[in-house]
Amino acid sequence: MAALDEATRTVPCKDSCDGHTSNVRGEPRLEPPGDACGRGEQQKAARLRGVLAAMFGADAPAPSEVLVVRAPGRVNLIGEHTDYNEGFVLPAAIDRDVTIAVRGRRDRIVRVHSLNYVESVEFALDHISYDHDHPWSNYVRGTLKVLADSGAPLRGMDMVVAGDVPAGAGLSSSAALEVATAVAARAVAGQVAGGFDLDDRALALKCQKAENSFVGVNCGVMDQLASSLGKAGHALFIDCRSYDCEPVPLPCDYPIVICDTGVRRGLRDSEYNLRRSQCEEAVMLLQRRGMPVRSLRDVSPGELARVEPWLPEAVRVRAKHVILENDRVLLSVEALRAGRVGEFGRLMVASHASLRDLYEVSCPELDAMVEVALDVPGVAGARMTGAGFGGCTVNLVHEDAVDEFRRTVLTRYMSKVNPSRLSLEPQVYVCRAEDGAGLIPPEG
Ligand code: GLA
């Protein structure tokens, strides 16, 4: 996902409250935005409306026609590298998002200004091509192209985009941009007769297609579904074969704490694709043995011992991770529904070990971050989250332990890792599970 890194660099939002995030030197950062501080969504919307008027003011229609939409990033709680095996995942949408102010145009031109990049692009809906000079814009272009190709009656638009999902951190900044774009396009098309009525799930699938076919990143469907369909206070249990999604309540006394290792690695695209092909190879080899399987999702943990000898070592360990990780997701859903936080935490720890030892997508910094977190009293579970090779860990920390966690974890982490490998300063973000994408209603 090197392309992800380019998608939405974090620029602290000037309207946000400060103090929720501290870096290793203890300096306050202007993060996170909005609701986490009890205000802000409306402020952010008002700011973007102001920029839209200032940037594209001359041919502006009445201000009431400007719409503002948001789509969140996501953190995956458990179920890693299972989505492209038609398996199970359990992500949550988080209170960091991409926000777009948008208004329809009378022609078929799209103009987009990114506040993060301080760059603008312009293109025609009927000739959308890849933009090598403004890689961030390809998430917008790709989404609109896929929608247009599927027959959605799009309108030209002026858009101002701002995001505060850390980029390249495994928190799906690019899915948030795609989903926000799709929701904006649907809302603008709906302002005139003959809009289109793709539901949120269908929009998410179009966004995944855009990332696969236009941006060229072969991701699964988890990120876009989580950004689109997330529910406040809940994780989303997704069956990546049927795309059925069920909210699962999260314990209110355990906020989601995300630790960014500060490591960004370009290896991710090639290693991700390699893992995918190893999983496909496993399926092909099992089919040759006569097993009626379409994907690794179809192999149960009980069948593992029988099938393992049929697979070459490199493929065996990948398949074993996927088969057991699917089972861990099912057990996690049961544990969370029954309020067994400790059990869920243990499943997270087992997931990390499997990603480290079998799927081999962790790195020394992710391992160190998990290790120091698990030493802090009040931490029920910790694991790497997202594709791996850097980025973030996700931690289940009792609310009474969050301050201590924040104080100790980065210091201990820095004493364990080689600072020269860090591209950014490590961070701790305390997050809430939020609703998926939608319109921000105008104030009053
Ligand atoms: C990335 C991809 C997802 C998923 C995860 C690993 O985030 O975008 O589709 O495969 O990696 O679980």
Atom of ligand 1 nearest to the CA of 76: 12
Sites in the chain below the pLDDT cut of 50:
1-38, 62-64
Question: 169 and 75: one domain?
Answer: yes
pLDDT digits (tens, 9 = 90+) for 302-348: 999 999 999 999 999 999 999 999 999 999 999 999 999 999 999 99
Compute the residue count for the chain. 444
Give the pLDDT confidence score for residue 39 in this predicted structure. Answer: 56
Whole-number Å distance, alpha carbon 400 to ligand 1 midpoint, is 31
Of 219, 249, 279, the one marking the end of a domain is: 249
pLDDT digits (tens, 9 = 90+) for 14-70: 222 222 333 332 222 223 344 433 358 889 999 999 999 999 986 655 444 899 999
- Rounded to the nearest 10°, the torsion over CA 105, 106, 110, 116 is -10
From 75, 83, 267, the mutation candidate for ligand 1 (largest count of ligand atoms within 8 A of CB) is: 83
Question: 295 and 174: one domain?
Answer: no
Query: Residue 173's domain is classified under what CATH number?
Result: 3.30.230.10
Give the pLDDT confidence score for residue 266 in this predicted structure. Answer: 64
Question: 185 and 270: one domain?
Answer: no
Whole-number Å distance, alpha carbon 35 to ligand 1 midpoint, is 26
| Reduced 3-state DSSP string for the chain | CHHHHHHCCCCCCCCCCCCCCEECCCCECCCCCHHHHCCCHHHHHHHHHHHHHHHHHHHCCCHHHCEEEEEEEEEEEECCCCHHHCCEEEEEEEEEEEEEEEEECCCCEEEEEECCCCEEEEEECCCCCCCCCCCCHHHHHHHHHHHHHCCCCCCCEEEEEEECCCCCCCCCHHHHHHHHHHHHHHHHHCCCCCCCCCCHHHHHHHHHHHHHHHHCCCCCCHHHHHHHHCCCCEEEEEECCCCCEEEEECCCCCCEEEEECCCCCCCHHHHHHHHHHHHHHHHHHHHHCCCCCCCHHHCCHHHHHHHHHHCCHHHHHHHHHHHHHHHHHHHHHHHHHCCCHHHHHHHHHHHHHHHHHCCCCCCHHHHHHHHHHHCCCCEEEEEECCCCCCCEEEEEECHHHHHHHHHHHHHHHHHHCCHHHCCCCCEEEEECECCCCEECCCCC
Question: 207 and 279: one domain?
Answer: no
Looking at the annotation, which residues are catalytic?
223
Q: Quick check: is 362 in a domain? A: yes
Q: Is the separation of the CB atoms in 100 and 344 below 8 Å? A: no
Burial letters 90-115, b for 16+ CB under 10 A, else e? bbbbbbbbbbbbbbbbeeeebbbbbb
Give the pLDDT confidence score for residue 268 in this predicted structure. Answer: 66
Whole-number Å distance, alpha carbon 386 to ligand 1 midpoint, is 6
Neighbours of 438 (CB within 10 A): 15
Whether 222 lines ligand 1, by a CB cut-off of 6 Å, is yes
Of 189, 219, 249, the one marking the end of a domain is: 249
Q: Quick check: is 438 in a domain? A: no
Question: 244 and 222: one domain?
Answer: yes
Residues in a beta bridge with 90: 78
Query: Residue 388's domain is classified under what CATH number?
Result: 3.30.70.890
Question: 382 and 351: one domain?
Answer: yes
Backbone angles phi, psi at 157, to 5 degrees: -150, 150
Question: 211 and 294: one domain?
Answer: no
Domain around 388: 260-431
From 209, 222, 355, the mutation candidate for ligand 1 (largest count of ligand atoms within 8 A of CB) is: 222
Whole-number Å distance, alpha carbon 79 to ligand 1 midpoint, is 10
How many domains does the chain fold into? Answer: 2
Question: 116 and 231: one domain?
Answer: yes
Of 222, 249, 276, the one marking the end of a domain is: 249
Give the pLDDT confidence score for residue 1 in this predicted structure. Answer: 41
Whether 325 lines ligand 1, by a CB cut-off of 6 Å, is no
Question: 132 and 161: one domain?
Answer: yes
Q: Quick check: is 36 in a domain? A: yes
